[in-house]
Structure 1
Amino acid sequence: MCGIAGFVNRDNKPVDPAVLARMTTTLAHRGPDGEGFLVEGPVALGHRRLSIIDLAGGSQPMANEDESVWVTYNGEIYNEPELRKSLQARGHIFRSQSDTECLVHLYEEHGADFAQFLNGMFALALWDKKRNRLVLARDRMGQKPLIYAQTASGGLVFGSEAKALLEHPEISRRLDLPGLARYLFYEYIPAPYSIWSGLRKLPPAHVLVWEGGEARVSRYWTAPASLEESESPPFDVAADQFWTDFRSAVARHRRSDVPLGVFLSGGIDSSSVAAALAELEPAQGIHTFSIGFADPSFDESAHARLVARHLGTNHHERTFAVEAVQELLPDVAGWLDEPFGDASILPTHLLSRFARSEVTVALGGDGADELLAGYPTFVAERAADLFRRLPRAARALAGAAVGRLPVNHGNISLDFRLKQFLRGAAESAPLAHQRWLGSYSGEEIQRLLIAGETIDVEAEHLLRASGLVPSADPLTRSLALYQDTYLPDDILAKVDRASMACGLEVRAPFLDALLVDSMQTLPPRFKYGRNQTKRLLKKAASGRLPATILERPKKGFGIPVAHWLRGPLAGLLGSLLNRSRLERQGLFNPREVERRISEHAAGVRDHRKPLWTLLMFQLWYDRWHGS
């Protein structure tokens, strides 16, 4: 895992190496083990290295035999041994054991189509000296970030994080107001958009080719269609085959020349990763990591401990007071260069820091929920379909009854779940899911924002959803939307930023390319059927994990945000969102913000999500735009 940055000028204008040095330095946290540069004519490639494979010989940027193709790259290529063997058979000469080197040779064979042959997590920039061509590529599911911008002079600037691009003299630091509206709607900004005017995120499974001042972006992979049950093996057979494929994915993901461990939350996803790894190597040598909290309603460490004892792993556990999470807020605002409203980034960073004290690489369970239908929102989608069939009077009566429930600020309390459900229950599925996940509806954003240049975020969201898999069944359409937005730009972005801030590489075996292709073809009822989410995974893991783990309801990596905003963070909330400050800032309606703060403080309404989303924006704004 590393950080990359660079730029190319049009018309062979020489680059300024000092600019590249500044850009690359901003990414030192991603690569604390070294740096490297290529400055040659119109191109500048920079690299910060976190050494994982071939510690002595894997320095970047790296070139092919005649130095006509160069690459700077962040990630891991899991099918590198197979690629190396086939490329050597075609006459390519390797000078290192690093997985990086296969990229330049694969490009020599296939040109800009090379990315489709990669099984890995990656973001890369490749310079073709003979063609004066720069190629950017990002992995299929979006595990590694890649930001770019076209300059007014016809060049292109790129980097792992926006902060690197902001060091380039042609890149503006202007706030993108449509990006702000998207942030309020999603709690993050989905690719290809950004909070920075002029900056774009290369979407997952896409390549960008820059030549002669022009950039072309294209998709190189599309998920295969799901099969009908009549075309698929029986469910039990499919579950057995899934575990075999999953164990192979874990085997590919464990390749490392540095210590490796497993994030273990006690949920079925991370527990399955640990169980599969324990079938590949002695369990007592596997380091598993979990954290707990003094507040029992947010503490899941007992479940992780149960799995670790069941498997016999070398388990590491630490309990934190909630104050330790609160103290992270200034740090998070410092290393996030885009506002991010998912509060679980705080405990994710604590877990990453804890694991980094023992290992350099960790395996996690990310991706299973979005590929195998693990979220309770998929259950809610079925319930909403029934709700919409009720007479209007019955729906109104239900809404009134739920509205009278007393506010409970506990972790995913009953009244919170019911009120969130009703926010989206009457809407079409794509909009319902986002209402359940997000902080603000389109109408609420219109009331909140007073700045111009905004957009209809809900119409944009519906248009995006309609273009994914329009002819598929309802569950597959919903899963595709999660895989297009929530997975890459919330879940994977969170893990990348939280882990790379302390120099830890986190890998996701569920997102292995071969395994993803296999999971995508599964019949929908194998994923969510018989009123059971992640049905196939639970069947495959039965007998390998304790029954209580398989039967546990989904529970996120939560922290007591609702309580904090009424207690220890109330002062910070008030200072960042007071009327005089908001009036000077000119973005938000002070009356609308004051209403939410006062209702939440009085316990009349639970505004934890919208207020946290605003708080995180203001912390980001202070860091990057000044108070």
Structure 2
Amino acid sequence: MVGLCGSIGQDALPEAMAEYISWGDDEETVSYSDDRIDLQASLHSLIAGDQPVAVEDEDVLLWIWGDVYGYGSRSNYVPRRGPPDGSAEFCAHLYEVFGMDFVSGLNGNFALVIYDQTENAVSFVTDRFATRPLYYAQPTDDTLIVSSQSQSLTLHPDIEPAFDLPYLYEYLDLRRVFGVKTPIAGVEQFPPGSIITVDLDDLTMTTTSYWSPTYDPIDKPYSYFQEQFVETIQQVFSDWTYDDLSYGLLLSGGSDSRLGLAAIDQPVTTFHNADWMSREAKIARRAANATDNTFKLLERGPDYDAGLLENASPLSNFSGWFDQAYFLGFEEEVTAEVDVLVSGLYADTLLGGGQLETPTVSLDPLGNLTIPTAQSVNSIDEYIDSQISEGIEPLPYFSDDWSLSSVLSDNIHETRDGIVSHGIHYDSIEDLVMYGGYYPLSSDTDAIFSESLAQMRPYRTPFLDNRIVDLQQQIPKRFFLRRNFVNKAVEQIDPALAEIPHAHTGVPLKYPFIVEYLGTNLNGLWWKHVADTSVPEPYLDHTPWPNREELIRARPFTTETLNECSEYLSDLSFLDVDGAWQCYHEHLDGEDNTTILYSLLTFLRMRATEAVHHSSQTENTDRSTPVIEPNSTASEGKTR
């Protein structure tokens, strides 16, 4: 496991926390300690470099977890040249030139630590979306602890592990917690796009925001934005790649990763994760073959998801389900083949209107038809209503003292200059709607997907590059919903790839949006009601992932987890063991409780849950044991 952790102040870094962020033997361990800070990082050897880097006559020390791609914006952008492990040196040079202001121009996925020994201060810097998250707690007045793994903070001996129930409810119902909040009591995340400076004399923290997303569309035709997008995405890949490194692309049967296949300027090994050679797997293989790239099917077995439940849950920062660490079970196969991983994640989020509410029309019994127009959300109440519609209430296995409506209402409010949601400021309700679901990235419902990939190899997704994000903020909403930037880009860069159908729509990418829209709905109806779409097992599917609803009914990992974690369900006062089993049996009887069951399973297998349970048991034992003085009668009687 790569990441970093540290203790600021008087206490040394506990060994258990340091071990939590260590994963494999091929990682570089970086340690530093003096009488004020104790820091350890576990880094991919390819991009680690020598750390810390000394700046300004060694008065300032700098560490980086992650990778920096370049500096500046628009016409002033300069890509970082040199070896893959040069990010720390690059940042140190910029610091010498611009001081701390240099961070506002950084492009990459990173977290920085900058220790100014002269000023007796240490600063933590997050990238725009906090793609490499850092969590903190203050167990004593004299100690601040920081870690890239929120669950690891419960291992500090001065922490009394407990859950903040409103945010735990939010996670269980929505599989995420918005903003900087976490379900672990006393633990928060450092905000995205920020510099957090800690005064080492008194541990006071000062936070300076250097970037936040602001939606500010400009009046240009679609062709202008499409041209800009194609040019930018090709430049991103050109800047990223090294001729002497091998790249692995997570290839689906859709278009987002196919654009990566078209735009990357060297051979790649493509990986597709599936249980069988489904329709989607065949389309992915066809795309790889069309570009003469290697296709590897990573074929899951019937117990694959049970293994993820055990191994991925401790990795979670309460953003997503255990099985969304989709490739973690194939770590050895992937790392043996490639140096760097690339995915098409967040294309739909940024460019496909993924955050916009769209109306649907019921075509019962055929299904629903989505109308490609954005519904307006003009108030906090309307925004909360849109989020509540994603949840299931009441949670049958949770204390009835909480509701999703009350949790969200208590955490989203207007200020004089905008809106604050879960500790994050947005300039307007529009910005909250557009970016609240992935700013910071831990707010995304499947952030564990990216986090798990970053553990395996240096990992990049082009759609979070600053240049793509800057362009996205200028595009009118109607183009997100009634155009397809990605499909058109594939057609422009590699027309042969655009001839291949999209696995979900059945329509080749070369066709205009109206054909794609009609084809998507007509093919969906055809596959659902007419075509032979038989699968080897009821829980298998023609998508890359299994049908979770049927998988719960077919495989025993749910009953095994509920039985093995029965003490948690019985002893933790906010959980209801009977409600958990009722939820499961109702699912077996035909109800779809997939969402809240997967959240519960992930939670029950977390190390933080184990720590809280152990703490509560210890506390209860201490309270129930009478205190006996050595010379008391009771003591004498016990001795006899």
Name the TM tier (shorter chain): 0.7 to 0.9
Give 3-state SS (helix, strand or coil) of 1:358's partner.
Answer: coil
The correspondence for 1:223, drawn from 198, 213, 230, is: 213
The correspondence for 1:140, drawn from 128, 131, 135, is: 128
Give 3-state SS (helix, strand or coil) of 1:611's partner.
Answer: helix
Post-superposition offset of 1:66:
1.8
Distance 2:594 2:446 in 1: 23
Choose between structure 1 and 2: higher helix proportion: 1
Q: How does 1:53-72 map to 2 (within 5 A)?
A: 53=47, 58-64=49-55, 66-72=57-63
Distance 1:35 1:195 in 2: 29
Counterpart in 2 of 1:448?
398
The correspondence for 1:348, drawn from 327, 343, 353, is: 327
Distance 1:197 1:607 in 2: 27
Q: Does 1:4 find its partner at 2:4?
A: yes
Counterpart in 1 of 2:444?
490
Counterpart in 2 of 1:294?
276
Give 3-state SS (helix, strand or coil) of 2:345's partner.
Answer: coil
Cα distance, 1:43–1:462 mapped onto 2, change above 3 Å: closer
Residues 77-116 of structure 1: CA deviation (Å, up to 9, x unaligned): 001699xx999xxxxxx99962112223333444443320
The correspondence for 1:542, drawn from 455, 473, 491, is: 491
Worse overlay, 362-371 or 544-553: 544-553
Give 3-state SS (helix, strand or coil) of 2:303's partner.
Answer: helix
Cα distance, 1:47–1:597 mapped onto 2, change above 3 Å: closer
Distance 2:543 2:132 in 1: 22
Counterpart in 2 of 1:206?
194
Rg comparison, structure with higher value: 2
Distance 1:344 1:456 in 2: 29
The correspondence for 2:161, drawn from 158, 173, 189, is: 173
Counterpart in 1 of 2:232?
245
The correspondence for 1:329, drawn from 299, 309, 326, is: 309
Cα distance, 1:518–1:497 mapped onto 2, change above 3 Å: closer
Q: How does 1:577-596 map to 2 (within 5 A)?
A: 582-590=569-577, 592-596=579-583
Distance 1:520 1:31 in 2: 41
Residues 322-379 of structure 1: CA deviation (Å, up to 9, x unaligned): 322323321223x32545543542423245553222113111111212211254x74x
Distance 2:294 2:344 in 1: 18
Cα distance, 1:446–1:463 mapped onto 2, change above 3 Å: farther
Residues 295-343 of structure 1: CA deviation (Å, up to 9, x unaligned): 84xx62112112112222122223223322323321223x325455435
Post-superposition offset of 1:469:
5.7
Q: Which runs of 5+ in 2 are unaligned?
A: 372-376, 503-508, 510-515, 525-541, 615-640
Give 3-state SS (helix, strand or coil) of 1:119's partner.
Answer: strand
The correspondence for 2:22, drawn from 28, 49, 55, is: 28
Q: How does 1:513-528 map to 2 (within 5 A)?
A: 513-528=466-481
Counterpart in 2 of 1:610?
596
Post-superposition offset of 1:50:
1.0
Q: Does 1:382 find its partner at 2:364?
A: no
Q: Normalising to structure 1: TM-score of the pair?
A: 0.78
Cα distance, 1:582–1:507 mapped onto 2, change above 3 Å: same
Contact 2:384 2:405 (C-alpha < 8 Å) held by counterparts: no
Give 3-state SS (helix, strand or coil) of 2:444's partner.
Answer: helix
Post-superposition offset of 1:69:
0.9
Q: Which runs of 5+ in 1 are unaligned?
A: 88-93, 388-397, 406-412, 419-423
Counterpart in 1 of 2:434?
479
The correspondence for 1:254, drawn from 236, 241, 249, is: 241
Cα distance, 1:169–1:102 mapped onto 2, change above 3 Å: farther
Distance 1:115 1:374 in 2: 29
The correspondence for 1:40, drawn from 18, 30, 34, is: 34
Post-superposition offset of 1:65:
5.1
Contact 2:121 2:198 (C-alpha < 8 Å) held by counterparts: yes
Residues 238-288 of structure 1: CA deviation (Å, up to 9, x unaligned): 2122111111112223248643221111221111111100xx23xxx3222
Distance 1:42 1:469 in 2: 35
Cα distance, 1:369–1:155 mapped onto 2, change above 3 Å: same
Distance 2:184 2:332 in 1: 29
One-letter identity of the residue aligned with 2:498 = P
Distance 2:157 2:594 in 1: 39
Contact 2:319 2:447 (C-alpha < 8 Å) held by counterparts: no
Worse overlay, 183-192 or 262-271: 183-192
Q: How does 1:59-138 map to 2 (within 5 A)?
A: 59-64=50-55, 66-79=57-70, 98-138=86-126
The correspondence for 1:510, drawn from 463, 485, 494, is: 463
Post-superposition offset of 1:593:
3.4
Give 3-state SS (helix, strand or coil) of 1:45's partner.
Answer: strand
Q: Does 1:359 find its partner at 2:338?
A: yes
Contact 1:31 1:48 (C-alpha < 8 Å) held by counterparts: no
Counterpart in 2 of 1:499?
453
One-letter identity of the residue aligned with 2:187 = L
Give 3-state SS (helix, strand or coil) of 1:100's partner.
Answer: helix
Post-superposition offset of 1:417:
11
Residues 483-538 of structure 1: CA deviation (Å, up to 9, x unaligned): 326x443367313432245x322211111112211121112222222xx5xx2222
Identical-pair percentage:
22
Contact 2:217 2:475 (C-alpha < 8 Å) held by counterparts: yes
Distance 1:440 1:255 in 2: 47
Distance 1:492 1:595 in 2: 27
Pairs aligned (count)? 553
Distance 1:568 1:446 in 2: 22
Q: How does 1:294-443 map to 2 (within 5 A)?
A: 294=276, 296=278, 300-333=280-313, 335-336=314-315, 338-342=317-321, 344-350=323-329, 352-375=331-354, 378=356, 381-383=357-359, 414=367, 430-431=383-384, 433-435=386-388, 438-441=390-393
Contact 1:363 1:507 (C-alpha < 8 Å) held by counterparts: yes
Cα distance, 1:44–1:110 mapped onto 2, change above 3 Å: farther
Distance 1:463 1:489 in 2: 18
Contact 2:134 2:148 (C-alpha < 8 Å) held by counterparts: yes
Contact 1:224 1:517 (C-alpha < 8 Å) held by counterparts: no
Residues 406-463 of structure 1: CA deviation (Å, up to 9, x unaligned): xxxxxxx959999xxxxx9xx9653454345x4434xx24983257899922314654
Distance 1:479 1:96 in 2: 33
Cα distance, 1:337–1:527 mapped onto 2, change above 3 Å: closer
One-letter identity of the residue aligned with 2:250 = F
One-letter identity of the residue aligned with 1:28 = S
Distance 1:304 1:191 in 2: 35
